[in-house]
Structure 1
C-alpha cells in the first residue's frame, strides 16, 4: 500500500503571517500522525517563510513515523539536515520569488553539486536520499547517476491539467517515468498538487509508487472539517485507490 506523508509547511505559513506562535506545525504533525498519516514532510527554505529551524528540531524529536526533510543544496540548510538525520532527505529546487515549488530539479545541469550533497547526506547517516524531478527520462537517469536511491516525481502538471484528456496524458507521462525509475532501482515517490479528487486517476495509472507527499489539499480541508477528519479522508482516498 502507498504510504501517505503529510506536508505541514502551510501551518507554518499561517503562523508566520501574523508573527504568532500558533498554529504550531509540530502540533499539527502530531495530529496528522494520530489520524493515520504514515509520516510528515516539511521544507526548510532559505528564507524560512514557513518552517523554522526550531520546528525542524522539534519535528525530528517528536515525529514517530517517517520524517521527510525537503531542502535545497544551500550550505546552511544541508548542514542542518545532516545534523538532525531525517529518515528521508528530498532535494528540491528553490527560488525566492516562487509561491511554491515550481517544477523539478534540472539534475543534468547540477550533477556535480547534487552528487556532492547526496554523498554528504549519506555520510551523515540519512538512509534515503531523493531528488524531486519532472517525469522526464533524462532526469530519471541523472537521478540514479548522482547516487540517489529514491526519486520524487513532480505531479504538478498532472494536477493542474485543464482537461480530462490532458490530465490523462500527464498521468501516462508519470507512468512511463515511474517505470523507468523502477527499472533503475529507484524507490518511487510522488507529490505536488495531489488531492482528494485527482488521486484515483493518478494511482490507477502510475505504477510502483511507494509514497506520496500531500500538503495543501489536506490543510485546506482541515480549515473546514478539522485536521483529524481531513487526514482520515485523505488516508481513505489513498487506501481505496487501485493501482
Structure 2
C-alpha cells in the first residue's frame, strides 16, 4: 500500500505569520526521503495554505515520487494543473467557509460538467481521481465520467463518536472499495486518518493508497517529520502484512 503525505499544514503554520518558514517544499523532500510514495497538496481557491509559488517549486523539486494535486473542479485550477502537470489531479469539493474538506464530491449531480472537465485533463496526460463519499451511486457516476480512480472519503469513519458507528462506517468503506475495484477503478482513501485509526482502513485489501496529512504534520512537532512519516508507513505496512 502506498502512502501519500499531504503537506498542506506545513504551509498552514507558515501562513499563520505570513513568513517564509516552515517551507512545505522542504517538508516534501523530507517526506520523500523518509519513504513517502507520493506528495499530496491542495491548492485552494482562497490560497489559505499552499500558494502558487509552492506548486511551481514542488514541480521543479520533487522528481522521485509523484505529485498529487487536490483541487476544486474550476477553470482556474484546470489551467494551473495543465501548466504544472502533476502526475495526478484529485478533484475535491470546496467551500470557502469550511475548515477542511467536509465530504465527497457530488459526482452524480455534476456528471456532464465533470466529463468534459476530466477529458481535458487527461488529454494533457494527467491522471484524474475523484474524492467521493463511499456510495455506489457516486462510484457509478465516477466511472461514467471517465476517471482512473476514486479516493474514498474516510471522514465519517475517522470522526465516529462510538465504536458501533465506527464499525458501521468501516463496513461502508469495505463495501465501497470492493464495489469500485470490481468496476475496474483504482481505489484510494483519506481524510482524518491518524496513527490510532489508520490500520483498519489499511487492512481493506482493495485500497491501494492512503493520503494522510494533518496527523503526520501534527505529530512531526514532537517526533520530527522524518520519524512521523516512517511511523505512519510502518503502521500501514504492518496492517497489510496481516492480510
TM over 0.5: yes
How far apart, CA to CA, are the structure 2 residues paired with 1:111 and 1:17?
37
Show the counterpart of 1:148. Answer: 147
Show structure 1 runs of 5+ residues with no match: none
How far apart, CA to CA, are the structure 2 residues paired with 1:221 and 1:203?
19
Question: How do residues 191-210 of structure 1 correspond to structure 2 at under 5 angstroms?
Answer: 191-204=190-203, 206-210=204-208
Helix, strand or coil for the counterpart of 2:208? strand
Show the counterpart of 2:181. Answer: 182
Is residue 227 of structure 2 the alignment partner of residue 238 of structure 1? no
How far apart, CA to CA, are the structure 1 residues paired with 2:103 and 2:183?
22
Q: CA deviation at 1:66?
A: 1.5
How far apart, CA to CA, are the structure 1 residues paired with 2:186 and 2:61?
25
How far apart, CA to CA, are the structure 2 residues paired with 1:212 and 1:83?
26
Q: CA deviation at 1:203?
A: 2.4
User: How large is the RMSD of aligned CA atoms in angstroms?
Assistant: 0.9
How far apart, CA to CA, are the structure 2 residues paired with 1:184 and 1:83?
31
How far apart, CA to CA, are the structure 2 residues paired with 1:4 and 1:18?
29
Report the TM-score when normalising by structure 2: 0.97
How far apart, CA to CA, are the structure 1 residues paired with 2:107 and 2:22?
36
Mapped contact 1:83–1:124 kept (Cα < 8 A): no
How far apart, CA to CA, are the structure 1 residues paired with 2:113 and 2:15?
31
Is residue 215 of structure 2 the alignment partner of residue 223 of structure 1? no
How far apart, CA to CA, are the structure 2 residues paired with 1:11 and 1:18?
12
Show the counterpart of 2:171. Answer: 172
Helix, strand or coil for the counterpart of 1:70? strand
Q: CA deviation at 1:117?
A: 1.4
Show the counterpart of 1:134. Answer: 133
Q: How many aligned residue pairs are there?
A: 240
Show the counterpart of 1:57. Answer: 56
Q: Which consecutive segments of 4 or more residues in structure 1 shift more than 3 A?
A: none
